[in-house]
Amino acid sequence: MRHLIDILDLTPAEIDGLIAKACDIIARPQDYAHRCEGKKLATLFFEPSTRTRLSFEAAMYELGGHVIGFSDAANSSASKGESVADTVRVVGCYADIIAMRHFKEGAPLVAAMKSPVPIINAGDGGHNHPTQTLTDLLTIWREKGRLDNLTVGFCGDLKFGRTVHSLISALSRYSGIRFVLISPEELKVPSYIKDTLKQKGLEYVQTTDLEAVMPELDILYMTRVQRERFFNEEEYLRLKDSYILTPEKLQAAKADLTVLHPLPRVNEIAVTVDDDPRACYFRQALNGKFIRMALILKLLEVE
């Protein structure tokens, strides 16, 4: 039985396979409409979500399966003190696969140790978000036609942004990737990630100046400042609008720049950017459903 807790649980060849499968699903959705008949997905969301939960649920429905679960832990027996380990042991009696989001880093890993069915980490605290990374990789593949030889700028909250941590980890296995890490001093990428980049001899630069590096970028990955991870509201209010992408700032960018954002957006991309053909974040959200369909098929070993 396979789980997906960290993006590195998948080999690059397996990620290539998932991307190929997602592209086939996009091309021939009718061929997949009954693949998961009789199967159930449980979505256990201890933290709020729109895209991840609903794209998982849409993915299972489009595969012909069923969905159970909760979107608010207050309505589950976690509110009575039930542990994550006990919850998944029980839900594993009712469902064939579980997608779980939790506010505590490591909770999906604990769940995987006890679960009788595959666990998918749908985001754990400020740690990892591997299915967002699969979404991002599929999007880069569809927009750029490659996953190597790219200059990738990550901008915003690189400290708490779990999507950033997982995507850096994934891209560090491809050749010719240059990382440009754009953040306020207070929200720099954690040192364990920089240590990994250094150990692998990968090229990265850190800067606070988005406009200075804009012309170099092939990909610009914007992120929201993660209010829910701050201990101090004043600090959040001071940092929240550090970067706001506007059409004026994009004038200095490459004509084929790909602008990504895992969403939700708060204020960091002006809505006037949405009509720019380089704005790919809504296509990215759609890709999330297709790659999750591919992942469900893989973990359920459905052909």
**CA 13, chain centre distance (Å):** 19
Phi first, then psi, for residue 17 (nearest 5°) are -65, -40
Beta carbon of residue 52, minimum distance to ligand CP (angstroms, whole number): 3
Q: Which stretch binds ligand CP (CB under 6 A): 47-55, 112-120, 168-176, 295-303?
A: 47-55
Give long-range contacts, CB 8 A cutoff, 24+ apart: 187-191.
Answer: 187/156, 187/157, 187/158, 187/159, 187/160, 187/225, 187/239, 187/242, 188/158, 188/159, 189/154, 189/158, 189/159, 189/164, 189/165, 190/159, 190/165
Of 97 and 134, CB closest to ligand CP: 134
What does the alpha-carbon distance between residue 251 and residue 103 come to, in Å, rounded to a whole number?
38
DSSP calls for 105-143: TTHHHHHHHH-SS-EEEEEETTTB-HHHHHHHHHHHHHH
CB closer to ligand CP out of 6 and 151: 6
Instruction: Give the torsion sign (CA, 282, 261, 102, 173).
Output: positive
Size of the site for ligand CP (CB under 6 A): 9
Catalytic status, residue 159: no
Site string for ligand CP, 164-203 (x = CB under 6 A): ----------------------------------------
Which of 43, 52, 71, 133 is the binder for ligand CP (CB under 6 A)?
Answer: 52
Contacting ligand CP (CB under 6 A), which of 21, 35, 51, 102?
51
Per-residue x/- mask for ligand CP, residues 197 to 236, rule CB under 6 A?
----------------------------------------
Please report how many Cα atoms fall inside a 13 Å half-sphere around the Cα of residue 292, on the Cβ side: 30
Active-site residue, 52 included: yes
State the Cα–Cα distance between residues 213 and 206, nearest whole angstrom. Answer: 10
Q: What are φ and ψ of residue 235, in 5° steps?
A: -65, -40
Residue 66 appears among annotated catalytic residues: no
Identified binder of ligand CP from the candidate list 50, 79, 149, 267, rule CB under 6 A: 50
* Interaction pattern, residues 108-127, with ligand CP; x per rule: CB under 6 A: ---------------x----
Are 79 and 104 within 8 A, CB to CB?
A: no
**What 8-state DSSP symbol labels residue 276?**
S
Rounded least distance, CB 45 to ligand CP, Å? 8
Which of 52, 87, 133, 258 is labelled catalytic? 52
The yes or no reply on residue 49 touching ligand CP (CB under 6 A) is yes
Shortest Å, Cβ 132 to ligand CP: 5
CB of 3 to ligand CP, least distance (A): 19
Residues labelled as active-site residues: 51-52, 80, 101, 129
